Structure 1
Amino acid sequence: MTTTVPRTQSAPQPLLAGENSPFERFLVKLFAVVPALALAVAVPFAWGWGLGWTDVGLAVFFYTLTCLGVTVGFHRYFTHGAFKATRALRIGLAMIGSMAMQGPVIGWVADHRRHHAFADREGDPHSPWLFGTSATALAKGFWHAHMGWMFRRDLTNAARFAPDLEADPDLQRVNRLFPALTAVTLLAPAVAGGLISWSWWGALTAFFWASLVRVAVLHHVTWSVNSICHMIGDRPFEARDKSANFWPLAILSMGESWHNSHHADPTCARHGVRRGQIDISARLIRVFELLGWATAVRWPKPERLARKLKSASDARTAA
Structure 2
Amino acid sequence: MTIVPTGTSGRPTTPPDQGVGPLLRAWREQRRVSQLELSLRAGSSARHISFVETGRSRPSEEMVLRLAEHLDVPVRERNALLLAAGYAPRYPETPLDDPAMAALREGMERLIQGYEPYPALVMNATYDVMAANRGIAMLLDGVPESLLVPPLNAMRLTLHPEGLAPRIQNLRAWRGHLLEQMERQVALHRSKPLRTLYEEVAGYPLPPGTPDAEPGEGPGAEASTYFALPMRIEHEGRVLSFISSVSTFNTPMDVTVSELAIETFLPADPATVKYLHSLIA
* TM-based fold match above 0.5: no
Greater per-residue helix proportion: 1
Which structure would you say has the larger Rg? Answer: 2
TM-score (norm 2): 0.24
